[in-house]
Structure 1
Amino acid sequence: TDKEYLAQRFTACTGEAAAAFELMNDFNALPDLVPKDDYPVNASKFLLYEDPLLPLFTADTNGMSFVEHYAGLVQSYRSFSSDAPAFEAIYRFYEQLAHLLELKCRWRERAPHAKADDNALNLAELAMQCMKQTKCCRAAWASLWERTNKPYGFEVIDIRLSGLEGRFETAAHQMEKLARNEPNTLETLFCSKLRYLSDETGHFSGSGPWSDCISACRI
């Protein structure tokens, strides 16, 4: 396929820049994530829904940093705009999603190293930023959904992101407790982790159900 010609035809048919849609692939095409097989790794899904206090994929992504990757996507989507309401809603949603993933990846890199000092208070503030951004992303997703879909189904997204928002609120409270040297429930964050999505060679499989991202508990 001639990508330049395809981009020209895309713009001719839609009036929009093809780059905005090509970049959607970058939400999952992360550096250092090598799939086990021909199926893509849906990294944005497990990074988005992974519980902030029970991170199941820590061992899989040990030594990897995705913060700058998603920060770049924030800037890219911030530069896109459209006079067509549906396309504008798409760009604003992906901008908000990229920012949430940027903050969440920063959290998952820093939180396991929290200590009972100012570091814990800084992490409490970061958790609050993640909570607020989750709310912004949910609002942008709702706006996009209303313009492009029937209402059925959004309750699933609403429940998932509302749960993530609540867990970040809990994370902020637990970090505040750590800063005050009070009893907290951060053991799930600090304990050693096992591989979940990758094998011994570091090759990844994707994550399926949302429930597989949030807890190892099946009850």
Structure 2
Amino acid sequence: MPTSKSDDAPKLPRGRPRDPERCRRILEAANRHFNAHGLARASMEAIAAEAGVSKMTVYSHFTSKEGLFEAVIRERTEGVVGGLAGAQALDPTQPEKALLAVGEQFLALAREGDALGQFRSLYGAAGTQPEACRAFYRQGADRLIGDLAAYLRRADAAGALKVRQPRQAADLFLAMFLGDGHIRGLLMLDMPDARENRALLREAVRVFMAAFATTA
């Protein structure tokens, strides 16, 4: 059954304040269970037990297992987009510095074992778990690309970059971190080391700036 946009975010009963510590325990337990069992086999009862709360408490914070899964993904991507969400956190006149910071955070997320596990789980269940896939996309790729595109619009307005299609440019930048190393991670093969990751980051920013920097 389709849900409205307001149904996407976790809800609390009216008049009841959110307990940050309780939410943190629920999200941490849910993250472990989703990584271990996937969305379909993860149990809300088991998540509640590990978090030290009742199942009704979990549902009072997150209206469904899909809503809880989406909250877990949103929590995971916050480290990358948090600086962009404030719209003024990154200097639009210094795009190279900003892209190095965003790229470093995104690369760390893309290489993380839990994130790779979620990719594997959802790729294998794409045909049977459409809501989970939509949540993963909405709070993952769509959110990251959208927030980076917002920064690129500001950099374009400031005259530091010339970006005709900010969302496409943001997609291209982030996609440069999802090549060989990411595929090796998905296949559980040897991952690039820190030196290789730093080299990739510098080259990705260099290529992006060569394509979109304004000419003197």
Higher helix share: 2
Relative CO higher for 1 or 2, CA cutoff 8 Å, sep ≥ 6? 1
Normalization by structure 2: what TM-score? Answer: 0.31
Normalization by structure 1: what TM-score? Answer: 0.31
